[in-house]
């Protein structure tokens, strides 16, 4: 039995998702205490509960504490079953975070699976669909894992109503190293709007032209169907071997120019760092590299979120994850090694 303190490190839902996901992979029983103790609303919220129940279905697990507001979850998996799954969050909670929970286990299953998820597709503090499809999935393919994603309907907070599907093939893991940019960076933008005033997207585009020097033909504006209003600025940074996706969500009361400027600022920081892996991708790469038995990448200074995730992974898998500064340009090297 592995006991995890959910208040450790950044104290958020990632501790729970990583622990439950790797419990499925390894077959180890686990208990997560003080669930999301570092958040304003601690305990299980709807999307976290959905993730736990999804993992229980995939692994035929016995669960204690699977209820809204619970601060303690005990998870006892049996065997991971490949199959066709549908999980509905019932709110605008993140579909991608639920998928993130069950993905490592389904990549380790004996056969292919499909997963259909309903809820939010573009959420604050969660990887958006575009990031998983264009940044994360291609790197999984290079590591020998099969993940194909499709966005059927956008879902923005607070209405939700989005739908994403995933086709997953068992992995034949291969370690991966991402240490240098091999080509000059290229930047393109996509602005997605749904049920909001038509003046918003042109103002965001104008700010992107000003901050990043983008041409009109490097910015696409898409109006999409959704259950409620929404807006997201998506920047695609082609960094040689990696396509980084940076997103900023529009918010009520926040100027369109501010939304676009925030996205541009994040892109400018990453471009200046001269590394192939951004902060959010660094977090996502740790589990697949650990399952592959090794890997390394250069990135910006690792966040507390990433370091916390690494500490949980080391409790379940026989790997050591090391972080150290690499050079004078603020870059860091992250290494995952078998132990």
Active site residues per annotation: 305
Name the residue among 87, 106, 102 with its Cα closest to residue 46.
Answer: 87
Distance CA 127, CA 116 (A): 17
User: Phi-psi bin for 67: left (phi > 0), alpha (psi -120 to 50), beta?
Assistant: beta
User: Encoding tokens for residue 231?
Assistant: 């807006």
Name the residue among 49, 166, 141, 55 with its Cα closest to residue 101.
Answer: 55
* Close Cβ partners of 9 (under 8 Å, ≥ 6 residues apart): 15, 304, 305, 307, 308, 311
Please work out, in degrees rounded to the nearest 5, the angle formed at the alpha carbon of residue 44 by the alpha carbons of 134 and 127. 10
User: Phi-psi bin for 299: left (phi > 0), alpha (psi -120 to 50), beta?
Assistant: beta
Cα R_g (the chain), whole angstroms: 19
Torsion from C-alpha of 272, 334, 179, 291, nearest 10 degrees: -130
| Pairing verdict, β 113-119 and 84-88 | parallel
Torsion from C-alpha of 138, 143, 147, 148, nearest 10 degrees: 30
Name the residue among 91, 143, 138 with its Cα closest to residue 118.
Answer: 91
What is the separation of C-alpha 241 from the centre of its chain, rounded to a whole number of angstroms?
A: 19
Torsion from C-alpha of 2, 62, 125, 322, nearest 10 degrees: 20
């Amino acid at each position: 039995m592995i006991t995890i303190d959910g208040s450790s490190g950044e104290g958020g839902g990632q501790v729970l998702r990583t622990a439950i996901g790797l419990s499925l992979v390894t077959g180890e029983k686990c208990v997560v205490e003080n669930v999301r103790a570092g958040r304003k609303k601690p305990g299980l919220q709807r999307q976290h509960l959905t993730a736990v129940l999804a993992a229980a279905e995939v692994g035929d697990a016995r669960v204690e504490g699977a209820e809204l507001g619970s601060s303690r979850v005990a998870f006892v998996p049996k065997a991971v079953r490949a199959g066709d799954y549908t999980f509905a969050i019932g709110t605008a909670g993140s579909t991608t975070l639920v998928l993130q929970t069950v993905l490592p286990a389904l990549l380790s299953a004996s056969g292919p699976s499909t997963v259909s998820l309903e809820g939010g597709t573009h959420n604050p503090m969660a990887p958006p669909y575009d990031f998983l499809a264009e940044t994360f999935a291609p790197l999984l393919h290079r590591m020998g894992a099969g993940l194909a994603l499709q966005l059927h309907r956008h879902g923005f907070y607070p209405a939700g109503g989005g739908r994403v599907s995933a086709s997953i093939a068992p992995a034949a893991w291969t370690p991966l190293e991402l240490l240098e940019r091999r080509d000059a960076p290229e930047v393109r933008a996509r602005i997605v709007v749904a049920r909001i005033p038509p003046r918003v997207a042109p103002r965001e585009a104008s700010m992107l032209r000003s901050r990043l020097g983008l041409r009109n033909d490097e910015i696409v504006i898409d109006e999409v169907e959704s259950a409620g209003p929404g807006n997201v600025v998506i920047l695609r940074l082609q960094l040689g071997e990696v396509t980084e996706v940076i997103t900023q969500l529009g918010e009520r009361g926040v100027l369109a120019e501010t939304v676009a400027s925030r996205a541009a600022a994040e892109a400018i920081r990453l471009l200046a760092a001269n590394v192939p892996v951004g902060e959010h991708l660094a977090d996502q790469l740790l589990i697949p590299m650990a399952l592959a038995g090794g890997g390394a990448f250069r990135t910006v200074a690792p966040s507390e979120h990433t370091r916390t995730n690494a500490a949980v992974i080391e409790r379940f898998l026989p790997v050591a994850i090391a972080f150290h500064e690499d050079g004078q340009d603020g870059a860091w090297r992250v290494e995952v090694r078998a132990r």
